[in-house]
């Protein structure tokens, strides 16, 4: 499942973040690339140790905790602290797959990367190129969202960022370990929850809605890690 989530951040929040990020000290993005990705990655990143990265990352995590669509789709157990990147002057990231396990900086806590997320912090008209291309079971999807919107996709997907030929593409990116490891099961739970939410308040029999809700929670109990 490749899912866009709109309005994760408000326009005001995006503007505040960009004000700080446009004055930030960026480093070579290759410092966080591993293995075969090292030669494919050509961008800039905010250092994970930069206090600004922690401050802005915390603001994103707060927004995600209040986003019901994200919670329903991801069923998050752990979230790696958001990082920030900038692509310009031909910057690109070739076809790659994300590492299966990552460690939260400064800790020994490991996060299994079930889901990858990119939160766009630049409007599409601010740059040319820079599409996120994600390969899935229905072919390649090309993603270019408004500032404040986010794309969520399986971390096992091959993906790349096309070269930015003009302007600058600024984004936050991070990984999620879901309570439900299996992508198919997580997608079924999301579809079921979406159906339940659409029936709530509609002309649905109360007992039928309760049964569906009970099934959802029984499946969560069977499939979820906590």
Q: Report DSSP state, residue 133.
A: E
Give me the pLDDT at residue 201, please.
65
Give me the pLDDT at residue 35, please.
57
Average pLDDT value for the chain: 93
Q: How confident is the model at residue 199 (pLDDT cuts 50, 70, 90)?
A: confident
Torsion of CA 31, 34, 36, 37, to 10 degrees: -50
State whether 163 and 188 are in the same domain.
no
Q: Report DSSP state, residue 108.
A: -
- The pLDDT tens digits of the residues spanning 89-135 come to 999 999 999 999 999 988 999 999 999 999 999 999 999 999 999 99
State whether 107 and 18 are in the same domain.
yes
State whether 115 and 131 are in the same domain.
yes
Taking residues 218-226, what's their average pLDDT?
Answer: 94
Q: Report the CATH number that the domain containing residue 215 is assigned in CATH.
A: 4.10.860.20
Of 74, 72, 75, nearest to 193 (Cα)?
72
State whether 48 and 160 are in the same domain.
yes
Q: How confident is the model at residue 166 (pLDDT cuts 50, 70, 90)?
A: very high
State whether 100 and 189 are in the same domain.
no
Give me the pLDDT at residue 73, please.
98
Taking residues 70-74, what's their average pLDDT?
Answer: 98
* Cβ partners under 8 Å of residue 41, min gap 6: 29, 30, 33, 93, 94, 96
State whether 189 and 91 are in the same domain.
no
Extended strands (E) in the chain: 3-5, 26-28, 41-42, 44-46, 76-79, 83-88, 92-96, 101-103, 110-112, 115-120, 127-129, 132-136, 139-143, 150-154, 159-161, 164-178
pTM above 0.85, yes or no: yes
Q: Report the CATH number that the domain containing residue 116 is assigned in CATH.
A: 2.60.120.620
State whether 87 and 146 are in the same domain.
yes
Could you list the residue range(s) of the whole structural domain that residue 205 is in?
Answer: 183-223
Which of the residue ranges 37-46, 62-71, 169-178 would you say has the lowest mean pLDDT?
37-46
Question: Helix, strand or coil for residue 19?
Answer: helix
State whether 117 and 17 are in the same domain.
yes
Give me the pLDDT at residue 221, please.
96
| Residue linked to tokens 């439900």 | 180
State whether 123 and 187 are in the same domain.
no
Which of the residue ranges 46-60, 157-171, 205-219 would you say has the lowest mean pLDDT?
205-219
Question: What letters, b where the CB count within 10 A reaches 16 and e where it falls short, cover 136-162?
Answer: eeeeebebbbebbbbbbbbbebebbbb
Alpha-carbon gap, residue 216 to 214, rounded angstroms: 5
Q: How many structural domains comprise the chain?
A: 2
State whether 121 and 157 are in the same domain.
yes
């Amino acid at each position: 499942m490749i899912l866009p989530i709109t309005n994760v951040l408000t326009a005001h929040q995006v503007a505040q973040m960009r004000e700080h990020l446009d004055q930030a000290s960026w480093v070579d993005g290759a410092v966080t690339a591993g293995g075969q990705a090292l030669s494919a990655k050509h961008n800039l990143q905010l250092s994970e140790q930069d206090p600004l990265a922690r401050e802005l990352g915390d603001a994103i995590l707060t927004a995600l905790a209040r986003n019901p669509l994200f919670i329903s789709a991801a069923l998050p157990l752990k979230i790696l602290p958001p990082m920030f990147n900038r692509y310009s002057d031909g910057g690109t990231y070739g076809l790659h797959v994300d590492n299966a396990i990552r460690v939260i900086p400064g800790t020994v806590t490991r996060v299994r990367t079930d889901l990858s997320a990119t939160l766009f912090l630049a409007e599409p008209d601010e740059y040319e190129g820079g599409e996120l291309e994600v390969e899935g079971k229905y072919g390649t999807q090309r993603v270019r969202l408004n500032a404040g919107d986010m794309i969520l996709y399986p971390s096992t997907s091959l993906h790349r960022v096309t070269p930015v030929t003009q302007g600058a593409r600024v984004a936050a990116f991070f990984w999620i370990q879901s309570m439900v490891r299996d992508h198919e099961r997580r997608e079924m739970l999301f579809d079921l929850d979406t159906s339940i939410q659409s029936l709530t308040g509609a002309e649905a029999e109360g007992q039928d809605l309760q049964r569906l809700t009970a099934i959802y929670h029984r499946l969560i109990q069977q499939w979820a890690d906590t």
